[in-house]
Amino acid sequence: MIDYDKDELKYKEHEDLSYSGYVYFKFMPKTSAFIEYTSTSLDYDDLYDLDSTESDYMLGVQWELTEKTTGSLKAGYSIREFDTGVREDESSVKLVGDMTFELGEKTTLGVEMSRRRKEAGTPGSDFVLNQGASAWLNNKATSKFSWTISASMSQSKYVGSNQDRRDDDMSGGLKLNYQFRKWLGASMGVRHDLRASNEADDEYTTNTIFIGLSASM
């Protein structure tokens, strides 16, 4: 269940009920294929015409090219059927992939990409078709200190009656971590986010500085 504290966002509140199944086939020592099915029911509190069932049919493969290079890729078809006849059912290609590279004993590089449908949560929009990619680089400089830099970019197309909105999002950041003890750590970092849109009211630029402290028993 997704609830919002702000009254102006209450219309986006909804419940998700999801279940999935997997079948794996290992056809090489370090490579496996799988079939995946996922069904998700969406039940909105106010936007009743967005109530729907989404079914994903995916084929995928997981591999370990070397001890230091691993990845996975799955692709398939996603079908969304609306409960009312107000909106047309929709089907689209879905793609999710990632790879991880160990660039030495202390450095790791990760890359991800995806193409999927997302909830719009905007009156008049049926959903959002989103495609994007991201990358991160982590380095454990010492036993106590590490840093991570990350970057991402994505494009979102809003689908619905009289909808022509397109957003281009880019972000980048740096995070520093320090472990004082096994049970006590601290982090700080900066993040830059930029959105360009064909609707000027939805464009923005944000710069964030954050500091965190973590403790465990």
Q: What is the pLDDT of residue 84?
A: 78
Task: Please say if the pLDDT value at position 10 is more than 70.
Answer: no
Amino acid 164: pLDDT:
84
Rg (CA), the chain: 21
* Rounded average pLDDT over 106-134: 88
pLDDT of residue 42: 85
Report the pLDDT value the prediction gives residue 11, as an integer from 0 to 100.
60
Q: Concatenated DSSP letters for 63-104?
A: EEEETTEEEEEEEEEEEEEESSSSS--EEEEEEEEEEEEE-S
Supply the mean pLDDT for the chain: 90
**pLDDT value, residue 144:** 96
pLDDT digit string, tens, across residues 145-163: 999 999 999 999 998 767 7
The pLDDT of residue 3 is: 60
Q: What is the CA angle 77-80-83, rounded to 5?
A: 160
pLDDT over 60 at 41, yes or no: yes
The confidence score (pLDDT) of residue 1 equals 60
pTM: 0.83
pLDDT at 2 over 90: no
- Tell me what pLDDT residue 152 has: 99
**For 52-66, 77-91, 92-106, which range has the lowest pLDDT when averaged over its residues?**
77-91
Domains of the chain, start order: 7-215 (2.40.170.10)
